[in-house]
Amino acid sequence: SSAADPQNNYLSISTPLLSQGAMPSYGLSSYSTQMVKQVCSDAVEIVEPAKEGYQLTLKINFAKIPRGKDYFKVITQISSVQAVILCSQLKEMLRNVNSQDTSQGMNKPIKLVYHPREPFYVIRQPQKITAVFPLRFKEHSDVIIATAFFQELMDVGSSEKWAKAPPCTWSPIPPPELRGEPLEDLSTNGGFVSFEISSRHVEDKKLDKTVWSLLNFYAYVKKHVK
């Protein structure tokens, strides 16, 4: 907010850009912008262009935020914007998995954080996108259980029944795709789980399911390890 505009507060958001191909090289795509508009109330307005150095700037009019239970609803909507952007951009990236454009960071890992302290990487490669999850556990017993679980996950994934699922691999050391990434991001006690996603994994309704599965993979692991 400012003295000239006391009724409004401005919130600027910066996220790793997953945009590629026909999508803009800066700012948000029209699809991501539309997704943000759907979760925002009348009290929130998208400012165009965004503040320099950010992908999105929101103008929040506190006078329009209702009191009572709806107040917390609006605040929750605002706090979810960054997750909505990440989800919509990941969906666009997967939708364009077969894009031939090599100018938008081919083979370059992009670090994403959907849940706090649980980063994962996506790497765009020819005809596929690889998602890599570094795994960390507090208890040594969890490491043992998780290692067995990941081995089982690979075995099941290689069976004929699960042939249509994205191929899954687990390794105790960082995969080659993450070479050069910060050491603190690669220091794990649970190894690395990778999924290879191709066009057949994002056809029609599979797209939403694949995006949801990637964004919630850490929760899936915790559920099976605990």
Residue-wise DSSP of 150-187: HHHHHHHHTSGGGTTSPPEEEESS--GGGTTS-HHHH-
| pLDDT at residue 103, as a whole number | 52
Q: Which residues of 79-99 are buried (b: 16+ CB within 10 A; e: fewer)?
A: eebbebbbbbbbbbbbbbbeb
In three-state secondary structure terms, 79 is helix
Q: What is the pLDDT of residue 209?
A: 92
pLDDT (tens digit per residue) in 97-123: 887 665 556 788 998 888 888 899 999
Q: Is the dihedral of CA 60, 65, 68, 74 positive or negative?
A: negative
Q: What DSSP designation does 188 have?
A: -
pLDDT range class, residue 3, cuts 50, 70, 90? very low
pTM score > 0.85 for this model? Answer: no
More confident residue, 189 or 163: 189
Least confident of 47-51, 118-122, 134-138: 47-51
Lowest mean pLDDT among 70-74, 161-165, 173-177, 195-199: 161-165
Mean pLDDT of the chain: 84
Amino acid 143: pLDDT: 94
What confidence score (pLDDT) does residue 22 get?
A: 38
| pLDDT reported for residue 17 | 62
* Confidence band, pLDDT 50/70/90 cuts, at residue 134: very high
Question: Is the pLDDT score of 20 beyond 60?
Answer: no
Determine if the peptide bond prior to 24 is cis (ω within 30°).
no
| pLDDT for position 26 | 52
Name the token pair of 27: 């700012």
pLDDT tens per residue, range 173-198: 999 999 889 888 899 999 999 999 99
Q: What is the mean pLDDT of residues 157-186?
A: 87
Identify the pLDDT of residue 72.
Answer: 87
Domain range list for the chain: 8-93, 101-225
pLDDT at res. 23: 42
CATH 3.30.1460.20 is right for the domain spanning 101-225: yes
Element (H, E) at 223: helix 217-225
Counted residue by residue, the chain has a size of: 226
Q: Quick one: pLDDT band at residue 65, thresholds 50, 70, 90?
A: confident
